[in-house]
Amino acid sequence: MRRAPLPAALLLAACATTPPPQARLGLKLAPAALGTSISVQQHLKVERNGRTDDLDVALQVEPDAIDVVGLAFTQRVLTLHYDGKELTSWRHVMLPSQVRAEDVLEDMQLTLWPAEEIAAALPQGWRITEQGAHRTLFLDEQPIMQISYSGTPRWSGTVVLDNLRYHYKLTIQFAAPTD
């Protein structure tokens, strides 16, 4: 039996139901806030409710734009372009409506951007801590997300994002940079 390529593969930032309004930050940091340009290949594994799905992603960040292309079973399922002001995206018709480009961008930035840049953009009630190879995002002192890194810089090795609120785990395996 062939697994459906899309249902949970892009649950980078979403769950089976739409999150409450305060659940997502609406974080949209400037591409230049990353502090460098990167071009990387990633293999993503999403685990939720006993199910595991995979996705391959090409990510490019330049000072003026972020571009993401997601592939499942060699088929393009998502593209995302963010120029620091406007987010545009394309999604495969089979992609669940709960998977929003805004959430994908937010999880990516929470994972890769410097903690200082994230902290400066957080709304009231939210905070981020970083100790060594670990980050935690809090809402009203409740841990919402924990992120662990195996390498430096943050876009090397393996990154594990554990969303405690929506009960999904995202493992990102980075390939060697292509630039």
Four-CA torsion 75, 77, 78, 79, nearest 10 degrees: 30
How many C-beta atoms surround the C-beta of residue 152 within 10 A?
9
In a domain, 6, yes or no: no
In a domain, 179, yes or no: no
Tokens of 133: 């190879």
Model confidence over 33-53: pLDDT tens digits? 999 999 999 998 888 888 887
In a domain, 134, yes or no: yes
In a domain, 14, yes or no: no
Domain count, the chain: 1
In a domain, 37, yes or no: yes
In a domain, 177, yes or no: no
What's the CATH code of the domain at 43?
2.50.20
Query: pLDDT confidence of 177, banded at 50, 70, 90?
Result: low
Report yes or no: 143 and 128 within 8 Å, Cβ to Cβ. Answer: no
In a domain, 2, yes or no: no
pLDDT higher than threshold 70 for residue 179: no
User: Which one is predicted more confidently, 95 or 29?
Assistant: 29
Helices (H), the chain: 101-112, 115-121
CA distances (Å), origin 171, targets 21, 33, 115 = 25, 23, 19
Model confidence over 98-145: pLDDT tens digits? 677 888 899 999 999 999 999 999 999 999 999 999 999 999 999 999
In a domain, 98, yes or no: yes
pLDDT higher than threshold 90 for residue 2: no
Query: pLDDT confidence of 58, banded at 50, 70, 90?
Result: very high
User: Which one is predicted more confidently, 126 or 17?
Assistant: 126
Distance CA(41)–CA(160), nearest Å, equals 16
Query: pLDDT confidence of 26, banded at 50, 70, 90?
Result: confident
Domain of residue 74, residue span: 21-172
Report yes or no: 11 and 48 within 8 Å, Cβ to Cβ. Answer: yes
Give the model's pLDDT for residue 137: 97
